[in-house]
Amino acid sequence: MEEETELASSNKSWVVSAVGITLVLFAVSALLGFIIFPAAEGRESESLWASICRAAGLPVSSTVNTEGIQGTKVAIANAVPSIPPGESIGRGATLAQQCAICHGPTGVSRADAPNLAGQYPTVTYKQLRDFKDHVRVSAVMSPFAEHLTEENIQDLAAYYASLQRIELKTAKPGVAAPTIVVSGAPLRGIAPCGSCHGAIENKLGSPWLEGQSVVYLRNQLEAFAQGSRRNDVNEQMRNVARAMTQEEIEAAAQYYASKPHPPEI
Ligand code: HEC
Ligand code: HEC
């Protein structure tokens, strides 16, 4: 009986010292990893999450506060407008008068708002729903989407899809396609842009990019990379943008903006 008690008490002290040592080791490594090393490298202001991501080898680009923005509520399979376009287009044209100041009377913007003429109806529908649901956020655009009804959104999608894609005056046909656009970056998991955005294949829900302004394209890629735009289904576009370098973002934006006109639907 006495022996057993001795054994139990020696076991207990062994457990206490093991737990103690583990805690001390944990504290020392946390201190080193999250405070001393970052300070030595001049990164004191980095968040704990950013430190963990960087330690795990994930690119960290975010300093933007993205709390509270949820993912899209639109299931891409259901995003195709259900009202027959014939009935919709006329109503859409009337509604679109309030959009013309930024998106142009023919769906081609003279400012840096995206061109909508000839955009796939699925894309216009999904983006308007996402603005309305506040899962894609833009101080300029969101107020115009908030009051739209489901029918309004389908009508606008049908109307813009019916507009002709015109030859753009901003085109610079000489710009060669950069590697990131043509072949992506297989080692970083980036598929060629054209495998979703046309050229190779158009995946449902992927907008055409040709002829959009450099500013708009660059802003969207940076917003996806930083997570301030997070309405893409399954993070498919965030995964691409996060893995791109700043030079690749710039090259892709310059290239797509230089194309004379969007491809035919
Ligand atoms: C005051 C200017 C302004 C008005 C008016 C406006 N928009 Fe926009 N719209 C923008 C800007 C700027 C963006 C890009 C937002 C961003 O940077 O995320 C945008 C984005 C969009 C997009 C996303 C396009 C894409 O390729 O992802 C759609 C669709 C759209 N607008 C439709 C409309 C419709 C329909 C109306 C009218 C009901 C409208 N907009 C009114 C400025 C405006
Ligand atoms: C796996 C498919 C896929 C690949 C590969 C891909 N994209 Fe995308 N991209 C998407 C989808 C889907 C969206 C629309 C997301 C949403 O629902 O808002 C998008 C949106 C965008 C937008 C915003 C356009 C707008 O008008 O809203 C830009 C810019 C863009 N992609 C650029 C690129 C570039 C540049 C590449 C290549 C380096 C690329 N994408 C590769 C699927 C892809």
Q: Which ligand has the nearest atom to the CA of 115?
A: 1
Q: Average pLDDT, stretch 196-224?
A: 92
Hey, which of 182, 196, 249 would you mutate to test ligand 2's pocket, going by the most ligand atoms within 8 Å of its Cβ? 196
Q: Which residue has the higher pLDDT, 169 or 42?
A: 169
Q: Nearest residue CA, atom 36 of ligand 1?
A: 99
Token pair recorded at residue 13: 């002290």
Report the C-alpha gap between 254 and 59 in whole angstroms: 23
Residue 113 pLDDT exceeds 90? yes
Distance in Å, CA 60 to ligand 1 centroid: 29
- Dist. CA 237 → ligand 2 center (Å): 5
pLDDT tens-place string over residues 32-55:
555 554 454 444 445 555 554 444
Per-residue pLDDT tens digits for 123-163: 999 999 999 999 999 999 999 999 999 999 999 999 999 99
- Spacing, Cα 167 to ligand 2 middle (Å): 22
Compute the distance between CA of residue 102 and CA of residue 112 in angstroms, rounded to an integer.
8
Distance from C-alpha of 37 to C-alpha of 41, rounded to nearest angstrom: 6
What does the alpha-carbon distance between residue 122 and residue 4 come to, in Å, rounded to a whole number?
A: 74
Give the residue-averaged pLDDT of 112-120. 92
Give the pLDDT score at 30: 60
pLDDT of residue 12: 74
Q: Is the CB of 251 under 6 A from ligand 2?
A: no
118 lines ligand 2 (CB under 6 A): no
Residue listed under structure tokens 């376009």: 85
Q: Distance between CA 39 and CA 35 in Å, rounded?
A: 6
